[in-house]
C-alpha cells in the first residue's frame, strides 16, 4: 500500500529531520509563547520601585531590576510582544507588497516588467536603514509608523523572487493549458502561478522577521524607535549602557533575547529552505 504525503506533511517531515531547523522552530515557538503569557508574570513592567533600584538577579527578580526598580524579566517579556509584533506586521506588509509587484511584473512582462523592475532598482540604491532614518525624521516614532516604514522599505527582495518564479512558471504546460481553456488573468495568477511561487517567499518572510526585529531594536537603541516607558529590547539596551560596568544584567539579558530570537528565525528559515529544495529527496 502506497502512503500519500501532502506537501505540507512532507515539509513537516523534512523539518523534523533537520536538527537546526527543529532547534529554530523550538526557539521561535518558545518566544511566541512567552510573549503571549507575558501579562501573567507577577511583576508589572512599568511599576517603579525606588527602593529596589539596580537589584542583581535573585529569586524575587530573576533577571534583576533597572535604575527605576522595574523588573527586567517583565520588561523583556513585554518587549518580546513589541519585537514580534513589529516583525510579523512589517514582514506582512513587505511580503504582500512584494508579491503584488513581482506578480504583475513577472506575469505581464513588457513595459510593466521594465517599469516596475527599474523602480525596484531605484529603491535598492538607497541604504535601507538610512532611508528608514530619513522617513522617521519627519514622522512621529510610534510603533505603528515603525512597522509600516520597515514594511514599505523591505519588499524589493520579495518582488524579485516572485517575478523570477512567475517568469519560470508562466510558460509551463499547466499554465498554457489553463490559458487555452479560457482562464482569466486573475485565475492564472491566483490559482495556478502564485501557489507554486510561494516557496521562496516563505523562506524570505521567515528570515525577514529576524531582520525586522534587528531593525526595530537598532532604531530603539538610537532613540528613534519605540519610546519609553514602553519596553523594547532596543531601548532596554540603551538604558543599560550607562550602568554596564555595575549593572551588567540591564544590557546582557535584552541582548541575549535579541540574539536568541534572531538566531531562531534564521535557523528556521534555513531549515525551510532546505526542506523546500527540490533537489533533496525523501
Closest to 163 measured CA to CA, from 204, 194, 209: 194
Percent of the chain with pLDDT over 90: 41
Residues 6+ apart with CB under 8 A from 174: 192
SS3 track for the chain = CCCCCCHHHHHHHHHHHCHHHHHHHHHHHHHHHHHHCHHHCCCCCCCCCHHHCCCCCCCCCCCCECCCCCEHHHHHHHHHHHHHHHHHHHHHHHHHHHHHHHHHHHHHCHHHHHHHHHHHHHHHHCCHHHHHHHHHCCCCCCHHHHHHHHHHCCCHHHHHHHHHHHHHHCCCHHHHHHHHCCCCHHHHHHHHHHHHHHHHHHHHHHHHHHHHHHHHHHHHHCCCCCCCCCCCHHHHHHHHHHHCCCCCHHHHHHHHHHHHHHHHHHHHHHHHHHHHCCCCCC
At residue 277, the pLDDT reads 64
Residue with the three cell numbers 522577521: 209
- Does the structure show a pLDDT above 50 at 2? no
Residue with the three cell numbers 518564479: 165
pTM equals 0.86
**CA 174 – CA 14 distance, rounded (Å):** 27
* 92 and 208 Cβ atoms separated by less than 8 Å: no
**Domains with residue ranges and CATH for the chain:** 68-276 (1.10.3720.10)
- pLDDT: which is higher, 259 or 181: 259
At residue 3, the pLDDT reads 41
* 179 and 191 Cβ atoms separated by less than 8 Å: no
Closest to 67 measured CA to CA, from 79, 75, 55: 55
Instruction: Provide the mean pLDDT of the chain.
Output: 86
Residue 262, C-alpha cell as written in the block: 534572531
pLDDT tens digits for 92-108?
Answer: 999 999 999 999 999 99
At residue 189, the pLDDT reads 86
- Does the structure show a pLDDT above 70 at 39? yes
- Does the structure show a pLDDT above 50 at 1? no
Residues 6+ apart with CB under 8 A from 97: 151, 152, 155, 158, 159
Residues 6+ apart with CB under 8 A from 187: 178
pLDDT tens digits for 52-79?
Answer: 888 999 998 999 999 889 999 999 999 9
Amino acid at each position: 500500500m502506497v502512503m500519500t504525503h501532502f506537501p505540507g506533511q512532507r515539509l513537516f517531515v523534512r523539518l523534523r529531520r533537520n536538527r537546526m531547523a527543529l532547534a529554530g522552530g523550538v526557539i521561535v515557538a518558545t518566544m511566541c509563547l512567552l510573549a503571549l503569557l507575558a501579562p501573567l508574570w507577577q511583576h508589572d513592567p512599568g511599576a517603579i520601585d525606588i527602593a529596589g533600584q539596580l537589584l542583581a538577579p535573585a529569586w524575587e527578580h530573576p533577571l534583576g531590576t533597572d535604575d527605576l526598580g522595574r523588573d527586567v524579566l517583565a520588561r523583556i517579556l513585554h518587549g518580546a510582544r513589541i519585537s514580534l509584533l513589529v516583525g510579523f506586521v512589517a514582514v506582512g506588509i513587505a511580503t504582500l507588497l512584494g508579491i503584488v509587484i513581482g506578480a504583475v511584473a513577472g506575469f505581464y512582462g513588457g513595459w510593466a516588467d521594465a517599469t516596475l523592475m527599474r523602480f525596484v532598482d531605484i529603491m535598492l540604491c538607497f541604504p535601507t536603514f538610512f532611508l528608514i532614518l530619513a522617513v522617521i525624521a519627519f514622522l512621529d516614532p510610534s510603533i505603528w509608523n515603525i512597522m509600516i516604514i520597515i514594511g514599505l522599505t523591505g519588499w524589493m527582495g520579495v518582488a524579485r523572487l516572485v517575478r523570477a518564479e512567475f517568469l519560470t512558471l508562466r510558460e509551463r504546460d499547466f499554465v498554457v493549458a489553463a490559458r487555452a481553456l479560457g482562464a482569466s488573468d486573475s485565475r492564472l495568477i491566483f490559482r495556478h502561478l502564485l501557489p507554486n511561487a510561494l516557496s521562496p517567499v516563505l523562506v524570505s518572510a521567515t528570515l525577514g522577521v529576524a531582520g525586522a526585529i534587528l531593525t526595530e531594536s537598532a532604531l530603539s537603541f538610537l532613540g528613534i524607535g519605540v519610546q519609553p516607558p514602553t519596553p523594547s529590547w532596543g531601548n532596554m539596551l540603551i538604558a543599560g549602557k550607562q550602568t554596564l560596568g555595575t549593572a551588567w544584567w540591564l544590557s546582557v539579558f535584552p541582548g541575549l533575547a535579541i540574539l536568541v530570537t534572531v538566531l531562531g528565525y534564521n535557523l528556521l528559515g534555513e531549515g525551510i529552505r532546505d526542506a523546500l529544495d527540490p533537489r533533496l529527496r525523501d
